[in-house]
Amino acid sequence: MGLLSDPNRRKALTNLLTRLNAPICMVCYLAAIVWFMGLAFEPFTLRTYMSENAMGSTMVEERFSSGERALSLAKEFDAHKRKAGGMPVEWLVKAMQARGLEVFTQSFSRKLPFPDENKERYMVRGTNVYGILRAPRAPRTEALVITAPCSPGNSDNQAVGLLLALAQYFRNQIFWAKDIIFLVNEHDLIGMQAWLEGYHHTNITGMEYSPLQGRAGSIQAALSLELSSDVITSLDLILEGLNGQLPNLDLANLFYAFCQKLGVLCTIQGKLQRNDWDTAEGYTHAAQTMMLMVLKQACGRSWGDHGLFLRYHIEAASIRGINGFRHYKMDVATIGRLLEGMVRKLNNLLERLHQSYFFYLLPSLSRFVSIGYYMPAFGLLAVILLLRALDLWVNLGAPALEAVDGVTEAEQPSGPGVLTVLTPVVISHLTGVALYLLPVHLQEMAVEHFPVSETEAVVLTAVAIYTAGLALPHNTQRLLSGEGTEQGWKVLKLTALLYLAVLLGCTALINFSLGFVLAVTLVPITASMTPHMPKALSALAMVLLSPAFTILYCVFIYQELIEAPVSVGEGWMLFLSVISQGILDHALYGSLVYPLLALFIYPCWLMFWNILFWS
């Protein structure tokens, strides 16, 4: 502050910053990338540890042994599922009642905005069945949830079988302090959404459902089970939830602790842990695991049935059985014991899980990167935008006294008319609104006029509007205010830079991965953009670093990381399906990535596009 209140020294500082602006920005960008990649390096990360006292020191003995029963129940469930052609409601109700649960059902229906071609559904109608195991001498104020999906085909039968076997075993125990809800949900996330909305009596997505009859107070934690084969070799933990929300790290720690205790092979992002961090392969492995987490989190969708719980402040994770590592086989009873142990520890909780981190990245199950470690990587990127803005501000010759404090007041340009700046801003945002609204609303018209299905219509309309947006706005300011001036683009760029900085900053606070991925691609091009660059070349660069292409790259990188590389054609098809899934996720579960991209990021990018074609 002393530095700033002295006009001479301030002048020297701003001179330094403007003179060295470009090199500083370059250094920042490189430092950000290096910092981020360094996060996966084991010596730089922390070892995970159990923070919650109630789960750490207490001893739990696992005694679940009816693995065979679970498998036979799974077979029975499968048979009834085939007979009923969906959820075998009656059988399941009887099976749960026979195990001494209070059983309730909930029916729901949902018409998707357009057909979901990945899962082949449009009109969805289904029933959730759940049984509540009432804890003895507990006043129905707290509950834990265990869920298993009733999925079509052969998958997840074993999960339901294990769920029922666990219910039977749990019913005979006296130590429960929280009610336990055993839920079998139909139509995966849609059923889960219906149940959660019913339980909390809200309606945020326009779902139709019958009200719930039985409740058990506030849900403290939830576990979602996905087992599809009798032989399981390892368990995968899935944490990424809706809008990139993560459960408390203690839940992951709990899972890891029991895997260690029972000698169960466990993975995260499908990747086993390696111990050779000092070799190149070891580091690459950790970096890949972390990158997968970043990509999954960035896309903001729920990667398992657990993901929807997080909105309701319920810590939840999915556990998926994998049958892939030939040499390690474990029976269902071991998984049952693992779950028993986890549920018993959760049952011991005195408070909600809150002791450990909510913001973290996991390069492996035993190592984590906390928010304090990864935020600087984003901060270094964001500071580039601010430095460029400062540079422009000084260039514009604003009163030198307010150079830094003026950052917040930059919205009122003094020189050129407000109209010059406002026009492109408004037009860009209108394009964004069109991109947000039109694809879904125009699908019928598109289907009438073109030989495409509804889903294709929606996705292709979105792509078309996106492309059309590139042609539309960059000449409009001339109509209103004549020739664009040198000052005009500078003010526009200043505005756009600050706008982008605020947008990315807010995004990164909520969903670091999304903010970081967007910043990595958007910052270099937006920071360097001027109208005086060679048009064709820089236009190409801008398009290649636009939000849509960022998604495309993410698709390719993701496929590469999960070791299922795709050709360009397949990649393109995947890209289209990612867009349709994004729009569906927004409509069905309230994911915010699509509106964020359409209504804010894309218009912001268009403003820079505008600057490039300023004349």
Partner 1 sequence: CCQRHPGSVDQFQEELVIRPLHSGDIYASFQFRTLWDTDFLQERQKVSHYRLFPKSLGQVLSKFSVRELHISFTQGFWRTMQWGQPFIPSPPGAELWVWFHDTVSDVDGNWKELTNVLSGIFCASLNFIDLTNTVQPSASFKPLGLGNATDHRFLRYATLPREIVCTENLTPWKKLLPCGSKAGLSVLLKSEKLFHSSFHSQAVHIRPVCQDEQCTSKAWELRQTLNVVFDLYTSGQGKKEWSLFKMFSRTLTEACPLATSSKVYVDITDNPEGELFELSPATPLLSQAVVLGDRRTYSVFDLTRAEMFGQLRSLNLLLRWKGDSGDMLRPLLHAERYVAGFGLQTGEIHTVIYNNHPYRAFPVLLMDSVPWYLQLYIHTLTVTSKSRDNKPSYIHYQPAKDRHRPHLLEMLIQLPPHSMTEVTVQFERALLKWTEYTPDPNHGFYVGSSVVSALVPSMVAMNTNFTQDQPLFSSFVPVKEESSYFVRVYTEPLLVNLPTPDFSMPYNVICLTCTVVAVGYGSFYNLLTRTFQVDEPSLPLAKRLANLIRRIRGVPLLA
The site map against partner 1 for 207-226 (x = CB under 8 A) is: --------x-xx--------
The site map against partner 1 for 144-173 (x = CB under 8 A) is: ---------------------------xxx
To partner 1, the closest distance from the beta carbon of 467 in angstroms equals 39
354: region left, alpha or beta (phi > 0 left; psi from -120 to 50 alpha): alpha
The site map against partner 1 for 304-333 (x = CB under 8 A) is: -------xxx--------------------
To partner 1, the closest distance from the beta carbon of 498 in angstroms equals 22
To partner 1, the closest distance from the beta carbon of 240 in angstroms equals 20
Find the binder of partner 1 among 116, 142, 188, 391 (CB under 8 A). 142
d(CA 179, CA 337): 19
Q: Are 609 and 542 in contact (CB under 8 A)?
A: yes
To partner 1, the closest distance from the beta carbon of 102 in angstroms equals 7
Find the binder of partner 1 among 134, 274, 429, 478 (CB under 8 A). 134
Q: Which is nearer to partner 1, 355 or 485 (CB)?
A: 355
Token pair recorded at residue 537: 């070349």
To partner 1, the closest distance from the beta carbon of 402 in angstroms equals 12
What single DSSP character describes residue 414?
A: S
Q: Hunting for tokens 């949830």 — which residue is that? A: 145
Q: Which residues pair with 165 in a beta bridge?
A: none
Q: Of the listed pieces 200-208, 464-472, 481-489, 566-574, which binds partner 1 according to CB under 8 A?
A: 200-208
To partner 1, the closest distance from the beta carbon of 479 in angstroms equals 45
**What residue type is 366 in one-letter code?**
S
Find the binder of partner 1 among 12, 111, 136, 450 (CB under 8 A). 136
Q: Which is nearer to partner 1, 351 or 444 (CB)?
A: 351
CA torsion sign for 412, 416, 422, 425 is negative
Count of positions on this chain that bind partner 1 (CB under 8 A): 33
How many CB atoms lie under 10 A from the CB of residue 138? 15
To partner 1, the closest distance from the beta carbon of 529 in angstroms equals 35
Long-range CB contact pairs, 476-480, < 8 A, 24+: 476/423, 476/424, 476/427, 477/419, 477/420, 477/423, 477/424, 477/610, 478/615, 480/419, 480/420, 480/423
To partner 1, the closest distance from the beta carbon of 352 in angstroms equals 5
The site map against partner 1 for 44-83 (x = CB under 8 A) is: ----------------------------------------
Q: Which is nearer to partner 1, 19 or 94 (CB)?
A: 94
**What residue type is 430 in one-letter code?**
L
| Residue 372 makes contact with partner 1 by CB under 8 A | no
Three-state secondary structure call for residue 211: coil
Q: Of the listed pieces 114-122, 350-358, 445-453, 556-564, which binds partner 1 according to CB under 8 A?
A: 350-358
d(CA 71, CA 230): 7
Token pair recorded at residue 149: 């999906």
To partner 1, the closest distance from the beta carbon of 216 in angstroms equals 9
Q: Are 227 and 78 in contact (CB under 8 A)?
A: no
Token pair recorded at residue 70: 């679970």
To partner 1, the closest distance from the beta carbon of 552 in angstroms equals 35
d(CA 124, CA 192): 13
Find the binder of partner 1 among 10, 80, 200, 478 (CB under 8 A). 200
H/E segment holding residue 19: helix 7-19
To partner 1, the closest distance from the beta carbon of 590 in angstroms equals 12
Q: Hunting for tokens 């996330």 — which residue is that? A: 189
DSSP assignment of 216-265 equals -SEEEEEEEEE--SS-B-EEEEE---GGG----HHHHHHHHHHHHHHT--
b/e 19-54 (16+ beta carbons within 10 angstroms → b): eebeebbeebbeebeebbebbbbbeebeebebbbeb
| Residue 201 makes contact with partner 1 by CB under 8 A | yes
- CA 514 from chain centre, in angstroms, equals 8
What single DSSP character describes residue 41?
A: S
d(CA 32, CA 21): 16
Q: How many Å is the maximal CA-CA distance in the chain?
A: 85
Q: Of the listed pieces 139-147, 274-282, 287-295, 584-592, which binds partner 1 according to CB under 8 A?
A: 139-147
Q: Which is nearer to partner 1, 285 or 311 (CB)?
A: 311
Q: In the structure, how many helices (H) and strands (E) does the chain have?
A: 23, 12
The site map against partner 1 for 87-126 (x = CB under 8 A) is: ----------x--x-x------------------------
| Residue 139 makes contact with partner 1 by CB under 8 A | yes
Find the binder of partner 1 among 154, 202, 530, 615 (CB under 8 A). 202
Find the binder of partner 1 among 350, 471, 536, 537 (CB under 8 A). 350
Q: Which is nearer to partner 1, 371 or 480 (CB)?
A: 371
Q: Which is nearer to partner 1, 121 or 134 (CB)?
A: 134
To partner 1, the closest distance from the beta carbon of 194 in angstroms equals 15
- Within residues 351-370, the interface with partner 1 by CB under 8 A covers 351-352, 354-355
Q: Hunting for tokens 């098809």 — which residue is that? A: 573
Degrees (nearest 5) of the Cα angle 18, 22, 26? 140
Q: Of the listed pieces 137-145, 360-368, 431-439, 505-513, which binds partner 1 according to CB under 8 A?
A: 137-145
Where along the sequence are the contacts to partner 1 (CB under 8 A)?
Answer: 1-2, 4-5, 97, 100, 102, 134, 136-142, 171-174, 200-202, 215, 217-218, 311-313, 350-352, 354-355
